[in-house]
Structure 1
Amino acid sequence: MTDLDQVLKHLRTALILTVAGSALSLTACGKGPGDQTAGQKMDSVIAKTEQAGADAKAKTESAAAKVGAAVDDAAITASVSTKLAKDPDLSATKIDVDTAGGVVSLSGPAPNAAAKARAEEIAKSVNGVASVHNNLEVKSM
């Protein structure tokens, strides 16, 4: 079971407990005898339960999207780092790679301008990269 599955399971459990508590509260807090029939009270509880379910679903989908974006960024960072380490001209260079929203930032030293440009090309070649901020500094090594 992945972390996302566990989060979703906990959210579902919390939703069920909230709905059950709300249903009990609503049935116990009637306005008075004769104001609503049992069927009307049940319809009201059902409508509120459905709305609570829809709200919880929207929050869960939003949380899942955020988790998915973080996983995508981590995968991009790992892929760029691996490709840089495999490149014969860059493997000895310590290049820091960070990714946020598909935007890759490269920082650290580069032995020359060609190596700096090559690092940017490699980063851009990775699937999911929207753009690259090349902050590498050309330094003699």
Structure 2
Amino acid sequence: MNTSRFQPHTLPRLGALAAALALAAGLAACNKTEEPTAGQRLDSAIEKTEQAAQEAKQKMESAAHEAGDATRSAAADAAALMDDAGITAKVSAGLAQDPDLSAIKIDVDTRAGVVTLNGPVKTEQARERATQIAQGVQGVNSVVNNLTISSGG
């Protein structure tokens, strides 16, 4: 009676079977996607957070730049309005000092340094004098003289 559990001719078969099982297990492991470890998930979350923070920073910088541009533009517009109002006041004051002109009857409007005069005057000389007074004010780019000559001016 043979006390050995395996016959000598079955050992090569067992070795081949073990090798085939090992190969199958290895191939199965290659097709499997590994679940990320907790550390890998944490690293991924940190990376995504840093990327989101960088994007938010860029958006904030862009918004701040646009707000700065809008503020500068609004300040320039306000300064232009202030300049126009100052020009209008100076032209009106100059007209009031001339005895042949009526600052009350002459409407002075200024936009972007262009002074427009409307209203009645008594003579052509008074009309020309109004243009000269307006042109003499600093900041005036041009004068549109719409003054009309009337005997009641």
The TM-score normalised by the length of structure 2 is: 0.66
**Which one of the candidate residues 100, 106, 110 is aligned to 1:89?**
100
Take 1:134 and 1:92, find their aligned partners in 2: how far apart are those partners?
14
CA contact (8 A) 1:83 1:122 kept: yes
Residue from 98, 101, 111 that aligns with 1:100: 111
Percent identical among aligned pairs is 49
Deviation at 1:101, TM superposition (A): 1.1
Name the count of aligned residue pairs.
Answer: 110
**AA of the residue aligned to 1:134:** N
Equivalent residue number for residue 120 of structure 2: 109
Match of 1:48 in 2: 59
Question: What are the Cα deviations for residues 8-36 of structure 1, in whole angstroms up to 9, with x where unaligned?
Answer: xxxxxxxxxxxxxxxxxxxxxxxxx8366
* Helix, strand or coil at the partner of 1:128: coil
- Structure number with greater Rg is 2
Work out whether residues 93 and 110 of structure 1, in 8 Å CA contact, stay in contact via their aligned partners in 2: no
Report the equivalent of 2:132: 121
Cα separation, 2, equivalents of 1:59 and 1:72: 20
Structure 1: gaps spanning 5 or more residues? 1-32
The answer to whether the 8 Å contact 2:93/2:103 transfers is no
Secondary structure at the aligned position of 2:105 is classed as coil
**Contact 1:69–1:101 (Cα < 8 Å) also in 2:** yes
Q: Residue 85 of structure 2: which of 58, 67, 74 is its match?
A: 74
Unaligned ranges ≥5, structure 2 = 1-41
Give the secondary-structure state (helix, strand or coil) at the position aligned to 2:138.
Answer: coil
SS of 1:83's partner is helix
SS of the residue 1:132 aligns to: strand
Contact 1:97–1:105 (CA<8 Å) still a contact in 2?
yes
8 Å Cα contact 1:85/1:91 also seen in 2: yes
What is the rounded CA distance, in whole Å, between the counterparts of 1:60 and 1:50 in structure 2? 15
Give TM-score, length-normalised by structure 1. Answer: 0.71
Per-residue deviation, residues 30-62 of structure 1 (Å, max 9, x unmatched): xxx836613222222211111110011111111
Structure 1 vs Structure 2 CA RMSD: 2.0
Counterpart for residue 61 of structure 1: 72
